[in-house]
Amino acid sequence: MDNALASTSFAVASERPESTTARPLVNAKSTPMNGKILSIEALTVSFDGFKAVDGLDMSIDENELRVVIGPNGAGKTTLLDMICGKTKPTSGSIRFRGTELGKLSDYQIVRLGVGRKFQTPSIYEDLTVAENLEISIPQVHGVWASIFFRRSKEVRERIGYVAEEIMLKDHLRMKSGKLSHGQKQWLEIGLLLMQDSDLMLLDEPVAGMSPREREETAELLKRIANGKSLVVIEHDMDFVRSIAKKVTVLHQGRLLSEGSVEEVQNDPRVIEVYLGH
């Protein structure tokens, strides 16, 4: 990585700048889904006869922050794998703003506006925070495109905006490997924000974080959900309570319960299989 970024200054925009990413594949807003951004029907995936997700129906609203919980092996990660195209469904439907995702590649799904944060970190530790954010812009591929984008004011503004959002604006020139575990997780979320995904999928984003970092992450996710949809897998119930309006409980690949935190915690089926303590 050259150090062209090192000499640039990072504007910290108080308002969200226009997206620098184009989405040529579809006009995503052209197919209304009654306020839903994601609609899943009868979704099933079978691994050698074992149904990790089994006939699942669920939908996510525009600007919703949904939490998915469930015991280990419930199929939560597999569900995200199918939404982002990493795993192909055996049957059923996943529609994102009217576009069927089941047959698209993971790359095409990102281009449509679906971003995924995996459980394992995928940042480049030898690059600075700013460089990681910069190269996560999908269009910045190839030397000329890269030089062009690097010079663009919008990109600098966007990096500044995202860095402030993820609480790393004072760390832009720090090598990412030097960040704390929690800060690395925030940077990962920042990579998704750079992509300007409209639907963000986060798998256990506060795993390994300190209580303070968890609180800050809860605030971060609530801020993000004011303008995007998020699906967050989490099992820390204090954290779930702090962010969730609506919770989906999976068990053995099926929908066990859905509702407010209080409703699912009082649901006898949930108490039996998941919260039975």
Q: Which does 78 bind (CB under 5 to 8 A by kind): Mg ion, ligand ADP, none?
A: ligand ADP
- The least distance separating ligand ADP from the CB of residue 77, rounded to whole angstroms, comes to 3
Tell me which residues in 7-46 interact with ligand ADP (CB under 6 A): none
Tell me which residues in 57-96 interact with ligand ADP (CB under 6 A): 70, 72-78
Q: Applying CB under 6 A, which of residues 38, 40, 52, 240 lies at the interface with ligand ADP?
A: 52
C-beta separation of 225 from 197 below 8 A: no
- The least distance separating Mg ion from the CB of residue 121, rounded to whole angstroms, comes to 15
Q: What is the rounded CA–CA span in Å between residue 131 and residue 251?
A: 40
**Beta-sheet strand order (sheet of 199-203):** 114-117, 199-203, 229-233, 65-69, 246-251, 254-259
- The least distance separating ligand ADP from the CB of residue 201, rounded to whole angstroms, comes to 12
Q: Is 138 in the site for ligand ADP (CB under 6 A)?
A: no
Place of tokens 């469930």: 70
Total residues contacting ligand ADP (rule CB under 6 A)?
A: 10
List phi, psi (to 5°) of 59.
-145, 155
Residues 6+ apart with CB under 8 A from 227: 16, 63
Q: Which is nearer to Mg ion, 179 or 250 (CB)?
A: 250
**Regarding beta strands 246-251 and 65-69, do their DSSP bridges make them parallel or antiparallel, or are they unpaired?**
parallel
Q: Is 47 in the site for ligand ADP (CB under 6 A)?
A: yes
**Amino acid type, 275:** L
Buried b (16+ CB within 10 A) or exposed e, 195-215: bbbbbbbbbbbbeebeeebbe
Q: Which residues sit at the interface with Mg ion, rule CB under 5 A?
A: 76-77
Q: Is 255 in the site for ligand ADP (CB under 6 A)?
A: no
Q: Which is nearer to ligand ADP, 99 or 248 (CB)?
A: 248
Q: Which is nearer to ligand ADP, 153 or 269 (CB)?
A: 269
Contacts with ligand ADP, residue ranges (CB under 6 A): 47, 52, 70, 72-78
